[in-house]
Chains A and B, each alone.
Chain A
Amino acid sequence: MASRLSRIWPTLSRVRLSAALGSRCVSQTPKSSASGAAVASDLQPVSPAAQDSHGHAEVSPFEKNPDFHGFHHHDSFVDQWNMKLAFFFGISVAIVIGGTFIHYLPDHGMRQWARREAERLIKQRESEGLPLMTENFYDPSTIVLPSSGEE
């Protein structure tokens, strides 16, 4: 497949630059063994002057403005500023500053503290040779049970 592409590559690169001459989707490459499939745009007649629904007709906006960013078709100044502001507010403000804000949020519910404290206590008790935890949560001598037997 790579060899087929290298055969048609010179024609292909000319196709993109000369997109103004023909329609967007019609292949300009000479009919070779590579282009076996039916071409979709043969189904409808295409007039070069036709305005398609995106308003950029058959001309790629990259022809007039090679630095087209996708924001504004006709005005490169607005296009560039739209790109700058979208990146600034989207990435620099929202993701970077917002992400930093979220990173430094306080430890909600003291969960991280609880984990650190547990690890610290385990280390301390292991080094002192004490059991990690006593079986009884409450001191049994403080528990008053009703007497069993006659009720």
Chain B
Amino acid sequence: MIQPQTHLNVADNSGARELMCIRVIGASNHRYAHIGDVIVAVIKEAVPNTPLERSEVIRAVIVRTSKELKRDNSMIMRYDDNAAVVIDQEGNPKGTRIFGVIARELRQLNFTKIVSLSA
């Protein structure tokens, strides 16, 4: 359940460390973002000497949430943190490596590049 002002970790090596959500992409009253939703975020903390800098507005896709994710086979998954992967307008990740575990739902949402980069 990511909403504006939520701070998220970054799960790739794009250069950002921490993001703050400023908008959930979707309908005008799309309140919360879950795993697989795209958000507009601002970089709050960045690794030095990388293309991305602090206070840059970028798009990202949510890959882990502390809010439970329910599956059709009655399984419920919950991660310990909220994390996102920085993407460009087409949906391709800006980084080259993905850290941490990724939910299988991203494969169905056409983020296949992210899924293939993760373990």
Bound pair: A and B?
A: no
